[in-house]
Amino acid sequence: MADKLILITCATGKQGGATLRHLAKRGGFKLRAMTRKPDGDAAKALAALGAEVVTADLDDAASLSRALAGAWGVYAVQNTWEAGVAKEEEQGKRLAKLAREAGVQHYVYASVGSAHKKTGIPHFDNKFRVEETVKALGFPSHAIIRPVFFMENLTGGWSLQGDKLMFGLAPTTKLQMIAADDIGKYGAKAFADADQMKGVEVDIAGDSLTMPEAAAALGPVLGKTLTYQQIPMAAVRQSSEDVALMTEWFESTGYSADIPGNEKRFGIHTLTFPEWLRTLKK
């Protein structure tokens, strides 16, 4: 494996960064971190782990071809909220096609939980179309990892407002979540155990809880009493139709990752929400 080079896209982001860090811990691969900001602190931290940092843009085919040169594997992730739904799909398909042309042997695509279930959510359905492109290209080996809602989303400014945790879900609705670092565990395993992971498509999660449960657990970590306030769906829709459709789907259907089954099958323990909160205290 020491001669196998893995290109990690969005390497300074949550998923890409976690995957690179877990691969660095495992050792045995050459790692190439792709970013648009090679001089940033995040890129420098990856370089300190031994990764080769390269400058490339998901919208620039020529830069992608340069980044892909000599790569055995690719961890491919794109950001809907930065690129937009249509552009993210273009980016995902572009990268996959260029990787196939470059002779990449093992392609790992980071999608989203339930992307294959025709949810009607724009930023889920576009990822499924990228999944279909990856499979149609006929890589010698590929894997698709579908993470659910990020636990980190609940500590962001849009959900935390003073002493309130705010979201569009009903207080009784449970939502599957995952810590971003755990996505990296699966991403690293997809390469380290490529033969076992060949052709695997897996939805991954770490816990399932209601928003009031999340608020009760998160409050002590923040040093405050945190309560949950549901945002009216009309207000969610006014802000984003995509997020409104997703929230309504969370209410009606929701993610269905097999948390205990995945741990048994892949040997990876994904953090519960309280376990993840304890990592924030360190």
Domains of the chain: 5-148+179-205+256-270 (3.40.50.720)
Residue 57, SS3?
Answer: coil
Cα–Cα nearest to 78, from 133, 141, 26: 133
Mean pLDDT rounded to a whole number for the chain: 96
pLDDT in tens, 248-274: 999 999 999 999 999 999 999 999 999
**Are 131 and 176 within 8 A, CB to CB?**
no
pTM of the model: 0.95
Residue 41 CB partners (closer than 8 Å, separation 6+): none
Residue 83 — very low, low, confident or very high, per pLDDT cuts 50/70/90?
A: confident
